Structure formats: C-alpha cells, structure tokens
A and B are shown apart, each in its own frame.
Chain A
C-alpha cells in the first residue's frame, strides 16, 4: 500500500477532469490525477468548440501556446431533406475571437501539460477500478489496476466521462437509459488547408460550424454536425440510443449515408479519412439529475450527467463543472474542512449559480447539447431552434436574425420579432 495521502484524486483527464485538477493544483491542493489512456486526449478523436472566456479564466495566457485550430466566424444551420437542404447562416465579425475549434487529442494533451505545470501528479495508463470506502460508506480513495494500487484522498473527483463506471459501480448513479444517451459517431477528413477554406468559404484562421437537423440519414431523425479545422473537416451524426434500438439502424451506416448526402459529399470529396469513433452524450432531458456529491466524492462533467439539472445546453458545462467543484474543494481545504462529510454540498449551490450566470461565456449551445427532444423535431421547430441558437451570444445577433429571415418563415413560429424571446 502507498502511505502517501492526497487532498484530492481526480479520476479522468478529459475536459472536466483537467479543469478540476488544474484549478485545485493552482490553489495549493495536493492533487493526484489518474487517466486510463496513454495520455490525456489519447482516446479522444473529437473536435470541439471552446469558449475563449472560459479558457482565459482557467489559463490566462492560453493563446500563447494552446493548439487552437480556427476561431469561429460563422454558424450555419441546415435543415436536411433526402437530397437537399435549406440553410441559415449567421456570420459575425469577431474582432476578438470568442470561440475556438480544437482537436481534442491535441488540446487535451496541452491542457494536461498545464495541469502538470501547476503541480498535480498525473498518472496515465492507470485505471481507477473501484472507489475505496470506509465502514460508514465514505469514500476514502480509489483502487487502481496497478500493483499496490490503493491510494487515499480526502475527496475523489469523478471525471470519468459519460459511462461513469466508477460511480455506477459504487451505486452512486444509475447507468443511463437508452433514451437518456445519444450516440455520436464521427470521422475526421484530412484535406489541404486551401481546400477546406475554399469549400467552406473561409479566410485565414476563421472557422465555421454547421449543424444539420431533419432527415439526416435514411429517414431517421437526428443531428448532424460539421466542424472546420485547419486541415481537416470533422463530421458526424448523433441519434438517441433508444431511436437506434427502435429502428435497428447501425450507427456507422447512418454516418455513411450522411456523408453521401449531396450537400455533405462535396465538402469531403477526395479527403483522407483519419479516425472513426463513437462517443456517448448524456441526455437526461428534464429528468431528475443524479446526485452530484456525497461524503468524500463529487462528480463532474459527463460523469455527472449535468445536462438535466438546469436549463442549460452548453457544451462547456464539463469544464465549468470541473472548475466549480475544484473551487468548492479548494475552499474547504483552505478552511481545513476537507474531511468533514457533507461539506461538499457547496458544490451544488455554486454550480447552480455559475450556470445561471454563464451566459457570459457566449457559448454556442448547439443542438447536439440541447435537450433530447431536439433530436426529433419537425422542420418548423428546427427553424425556431436554430434561431434560438443564433440569437444567443453577441448582442447584435437579435438584429441580424431578422435580416436573414425571409417572410415565409415567420409563419412557422409566429411573429419573428418575438420568437427568440418567447423561447428563452
């Protein structure tokens, strides 16, 4: 057994785990982080959009060396039919970039180097297999797959992603049901930089994200997404697991027919496909959220299925929750209260508060991260949803949406002036 004891053990080095480990380490908490992959990001082939404000709060000088791909200058929303689409676009001229696309494998690795610099001990290729508990049921550490692998800590931060096996195994949360998780399958298509920019009408480091709704593939409803990176286009589809079960569709075949859609095919023509991957997205909708903390542990990011606790459909929620939990733990440590059971209820309160304020992150909510219903919307509903998305963020958005909205659309949702506000 290892004699050494840590203030906190963070299980998982994804967005949530890294945000938590970094925040705690910076505040003098003695942190051990465990990651089962070879390095942070090694299992991740996604692209993501991250909020500049949020990154700046975590790492003020991130622009110096973070592997950022493009800064978003445009959002498009496509309503797909079998062989055609109708598109809405919102182009903004951000003088100071507010959102960046990143390739997670690169970004997470860089993020992790910051965690190490801040003083956390980061062990990769180490899987936490079980929570260690005392007789009263309090979590006192974790067991790992290494020899002599029990390590003790005052708090265990569960950041082990959407499967959240550790919490499930300990009975802290139920495994999500098929209608509470969406399965996203995606691919990376390598193309020369110039081709990416020409096909998507981009200049310099400007970036675009396209979300597609409607009949994404073979008559099934779901969400399709396309992100432009520097030298690749990353695209995928997401459907509720229950929907897949019902129709018997095979995810990669859905992706395949999405790719053959004429609107998509021309974007990726001649590309070299790099990775294919599948990932779960928790979608609890308005169902009660799992408990976020108990004595000796907190859950953050996808492991906490946070999307259900507030009306908040931001993809940044993983990082926000990691940071907030870390602040709660650091606060307790400062007061010398870390070992007091129940002290972590602070986290719930702080999280609710932060999320309520977090509109300031100018997040792009994105259909992918919205409630499960948006996976099977009708066209008029999709239009409204799209407008709701567009009108978040920058203040001039409200005005510009009116300019791009042709009159026939107003019939679908009533008077266009009021639509966005009504929906909020």
Chain B
C-alpha cells in the first residue's frame, strides 16, 4: 500500500518567548520541530507499512529549511520525502494550504502510485485550526476520519478501513472505504527510533523538491497570501496575573484558617457576606 503523511515544521512552542519590551513573538533562535501531532500520524502509517508492506511518502509545504523535518521523517523510516517550496506559497492560511497540498498529493499519486491512506496530525501547534486535514480530504474528494485514536481492521481487497474516533462523551467505531484521509489524535502511539540503516539513508537521501509549477498548481492566485481570505488582525501576549499564591499554615481548624486567610486578602468579601447573613 502507499500512504502519504503530511507534516509541518513548526517552532517549538515550549521555547517561544514574547519580547519583554516590544511584546512581539521572538522567533529568532527558536528551534523548529515536526509538529508533534504529525508524529502520531507518521507512526500510525509506519505500523501499517510494517504489517501490510508498501511505501510511505511524507510531504510538507514550507520554506527550504523545512528539509530538516523531512530528513527526520526519513530517519524514522519513511521511504520518500517531498518538499513543496515556492515563494508563492508564503503567507497561506488553511484554505490556500489545502489547495497546495491537495495538488501535490495528486501529483504524488501520479508519480509514485495512488495513495490508499493520507495522514495528518489532528492540528498544528502553531495554528491550532484542525482544518487542514479535512480540507485536503474535501478537495481530493476522499473519505475522512478525524480525531482517530486507533486504526482497526484494514481490508485491502474489500478496500475498507475501521478506526476508533474520539468524540464528545465516548469513542465511535467507524468503517469507511479507501482511499481515506485520517487525522490522528495525540498519545495514540509513540514514534519509533529509526534503525542505523534508516538514519544513514536519511542523511544522504535526495529530497524531492517541487515548486508550485512542478507540483502542477494551475491557479497561482489560490496559493499563499493571495489565496488566503483569513487576516490576522493583531497578536498580543496576555498579561501575566499579578496575584501570588498564599500558603495556609496547617492548624487545628483548617477550614477556619482558610476562611480567615481569604477574608484577610478580600476584606470586602467579608463585609458582603456579613451583610448577606444579616438579610437572611
């Protein structure tokens, strides 16, 4: 089988700081990582490949430096990596991103075999929209299973797949037909450590690089900033809360000690409560 995994290189949000003076996000020097959700998707694809054979193609749209993430994906054991990189892709919102990725996946299908499954992470940690996976499925007109926690029976002859999907209040077990797009939820598996042979191959493998034209994009106006109706109005850092936590010393009457402390810090509350009690 041939599975395509979409990944994104994102700034490691754990290490992003807001500039103390200018209040802008400091991107300089922030290390980049593969979007953590995408790793669950990649591992799910790897497990299927181990069981059913076939190949995995990872694809990303991003700046030339996104090659690092693709190489890392190869280290984990993917067979092939495609980097979609072009100035005209810059500034894309989810609408424009899904247009570019869907176009590239069509081309991947033509060049390397039609994909049976397309994977994405649930969402990215720098956009948090969870729209890209479903958007690609819609554009390619394939089935979609979102928020998947576990992949069940896969029947390549009947061309069906079963999966468990987390939803509010429970888990749904769903079956649909291939080809299908799956968005994986966090903590569903753990990305493997690639073997030496994979790591060596990854260090030297060529990365397939496609411009918009190479990928078969027909309408440039649907790409990047031009193709993006979403506008970011403002970015700001929420101000820190100034209140400090107070430690209440243990005592014989813990409830009383607690109430005393609360009243000490909020004298008005005590008066209000007393007034209330007087009214009853």
Q: Is B257's CB within 8 Å of the partner chain A?
A: no
Closest to A147 in B: B195
Q: Is B29's CB within 8 Å of the partner chain A?
A: yes
Q: When the two chains form their complex, are residues A42 and B31 in contact, meaning their CB atoms are under 8 A apart?
A: yes
Q: Is B273's CB within 8 Å of the partner chain A?
A: no
Q: When the two chains form their complex, are residues A190 and B196 in contact, meaning their CB atoms are under 8 A apart?
A: no
Chain A residues with Cβ below 8 Å from B245 are none
Q: Is A4's CB within 8 Å of the partner chain B?
A: yes
Chain A residues with Cβ below 8 Å from B194 are 146
Chain B residues with Cβ below 8 Å from A106 are 29
Seen from chain B, the residues whose Cβ lies within 8 Å of a Cβ on chain A are: 17, 19-22, 26, 28-29, 31, 68, 75, 193-197, 199-200, 203-204
Measured CA separation A401–B21 after assembly (Å): 39
Give residues 122-158 of A contacting B (CB, 8 Å).
122-123, 125-126, 144, 146-149, 151
Measured CA separation A231–B31 after assembly (Å): 17
Q: When the two chains form their complex, are residues A272 and B20 in contact, meaning their CB atoms are under 8 A apart?
A: yes
Measured CA separation A117–B194 after assembly (Å): 23
Measured CA separation A350–B197 after assembly (Å): 36
Q: When the two chains form their complex, are residues A103 and B29 in contact, meaning their CB atoms are under 8 A apart?
A: yes
How many chain A residues touch B (CB < 8 A): the figure is 27
* Cβ distance B200 to chain A, nearest Cβ, rounded Å: 7
Measured CA separation A4–B201 after assembly (Å): 11
Chain A residues with Cβ below 8 Å from B68 are 39
Q: When the two chains form their complex, are residues B29 and A121 in contact, meaning their CB atoms are under 8 A apart?
A: no
Q: When the two chains form their complex, are residues B203 and A148 in contact, meaning their CB atoms are under 8 A apart?
A: no
Q: When the two chains form their complex, are residues A38 and B31 in contact, meaning their CB atoms are under 8 A apart?
A: yes
Q: When the two chains form their complex, are residues B200 and A123 in contact, meaning their CB atoms are under 8 A apart?
A: yes
Question: What does the 1/0 interface line of A25-48 toward B look like (CB < 8 Å)?
Answer: 000000010000011001000000
* Cβ distance A271 to chain B, nearest Cβ, rounded Å: 8
Measured CA separation A105–B15 after assembly (Å): 14
Q: When the two chains form their complex, are residues B195 and A148 in contact, meaning their CB atoms are under 8 A apart?
A: yes
Contacts A4-B200, A121-B200, A190-B20 given; does A146 touch B31 at CB 8 Å = no
Apart from the given pairs A123-B203, A147-B193, 13 other A-B contacts in the complex at a CB distance below 8 Å = A42-B31, A106-B29, A121-B203, A121-B204, A123-B200, A126-B199, A144-B196, A146-B196, A148-B197, A149-B196, A190-B17, A190-B19, A192-B22
Chain B residues with Cβ below 8 Å from A2 are 196-197, 200
Q: When the two chains form their complex, are residues A146 and B22 in contact, meaning their CB atoms are under 8 A apart?
A: no
Measured CA separation A274–B31 after assembly (Å): 13
Q: Is A270's CB within 8 Å of the partner chain B?
A: yes
* Cβ distance B17 to chain A, nearest Cβ, rounded Å: 7
Chain A residues with Cβ below 8 Å from B203 are 121-123
Chain A residues with Cβ below 8 Å from B197 are 2, 148
* Cβ distance B100 to chain A, nearest Cβ, rounded Å: 26
Measured CA separation A159–B134 after assembly (Å): 48
Q: Which of A39, A126, A151, A274 has the most CB of B within 10 A?
A: A126
Closest to B26 in A: A190
Chain A residues with Cβ below 8 Å from B31 are 38-39, 42
Chain B residues with Cβ below 8 Å from A272 are 17, 19-20
Chain A residues with Cβ below 8 Å from B22 are 192
Contacts A38-B31, A105-B29, A106-B29 given; does A146 touch B199 at CB 8 Å = yes
Closest to B202 in A: A123
For B196, give its contact among A39, A151, A231, A271 (CB under 8 Å): A151
